[in-house]
Amino acid sequence: IAGITQAPTSQILAAGRRMTLRCTQDMRHNAMYWYRQDLGLGLRLIHYSNTAGTTGKGEVPDGYSVSRANTDDFPLTLASAVPSQTSVYFCASSDPEGGQGAFKSSYEQYFGPGTRLTVT
Amino acid sequence: AQTVTQSQPEMSVQEAETVTLSCTYDTSESDYYLFWYKQPPSRQMILVIRQEAYKQQNATENRFSVNFQKAAKSFSLKISDSQLGDAAMYFCAYFRMNRDDKIIFGKGTRLHILP
């Protein structure tokens, strides 16, 4: 793979169910992010991780949890999904000082293709 | 706290014409970065152009250029010779390198290209 991948591409989930959205990057970026995108609200940061082993809360963290066991993976978990969590979810990564080759970033974030989640 | 404002939720432009998307931001910092991202119907977020605040020269990438007015805290995107493929949502974003280095996005401007 090259860049960031997300899985699944889309998902319909019953309310109350647990769901993990997967995100993997192969650019060796230290920082990773999860956003949700809703019409009229733009991109809102859910959680972030500046480096493996650390995580932080963004603008809208309630109902979501993350972990960062290694550099490449940054899964987002909805412990008990609710309809208000219906959204498109984007994972992103960046690394001002690191990265590899063509993916050495200058502070910009690289985004995955997104996951469309519908909670019914 | 830093904020990014895009005052135009939607805009339309005739194909081959020029259009300017507005963005203003609020910060007390002097050293930061600004970006424009494009999100076409495929929903993939694509970096269009970046500007370092310490550079006075406006960034340019082919048909895309910015008008960076640091004192006014304004960062507009100009698209010249608009093409149908430019139709997308455009997001302005601000970044300041610190311990919590996170990009702040505006709410976006949807650009329609009229054939």
pLDDT in tens, A19-78: 999 999 998 888 899 999 998 888 999 999 988 999 999 989 999 999 999 999 999 999
Query: Closest chain A residue to B50 measured between Cα atoms?
Result: A108
Residue A106's pLDDT band, with cuts at 50, 70 and 90, is low
Q: What is the pLDDT of residue A103?
A: 43
Q: Which residues of B touch A107 (CB under 8 A)?
A: 33, 50, 95, 97, 101, 103
pLDDT of residue B2: 77
Residues 6+ apart with CB under 8 A from A45: A33, A34, A35, A58, A59, A60, B102
Give the pLDDT score at A15. Answer: 97
Q: Which of A13-17, A113-117, B9-13, B29-33 has the lowest mean pLDDT?
A: B29-33
Chain A residue closest to B107 (CA)?
A: A42
The answer to whether the CB atoms of B105 and A31 lie below 8 A apart is: no
pLDDT at A108: 81
Å from B49 to nearest chain A CA?
Answer: 10
Interface size A-B, in CB pairs within 8 Å, comes to 49
Asked whether B80 and B63 are in contact (CB, 8 A), the reply is yes
Mean pLDDT of B76-87: 97
- Among all chains, which residue has been given the structure tokens 């904020």? B3
| Residue B69: both structure tokens together | 């007015």
Instruction: Categorize the per-residue pLDDT at B100 as very low, low, confident or very high, splitting at 50, 70 and 90.
Output: low
Q: How far apart are CA B104 and CA A86, in angstroms?
A: 22
CA-to-CA distance for A45 and A58, rounded, in angstroms? 5
Tokens of A83: 């309809």
Q: Which of A41, A43, A96 lies closest to B97 in CB terms?
A: A96
Phi/psi for A85 (5° steps) reads -90, 5
Name the residue facing A107 among B9, B33, B44 (closest C-beta): B33
Read off the pLDDT of residues B27-55 as tens digits, 9 standing for 90 and up.
888 888 899 999 999 999 999 999 988 88
**Average pLDDT over chain B, rounded to an integer:** 92
Chain B residues closer than 8 Å to A90 by CB: 45
Our CA-based measurement puts residue A63 at a distance from the nearest CA of chain B, in whole angstroms, of: 21
Scan residues 20-49 of B and list those with Cβ closer than 8 Å to A: 33, 35, 43-45, 47
Percent of chain B with pLDDT over 70: 95
pLDDT of residue A1: 56
Give the residue, A34 or A105, on which the prediction is more confident. Answer: A34
Taking the Cβ of residue A48 and every Cβ of chain B, the question of whether any pair is shorter than 8 Å is answered with yes
Token readout for A103 is: 């993916």
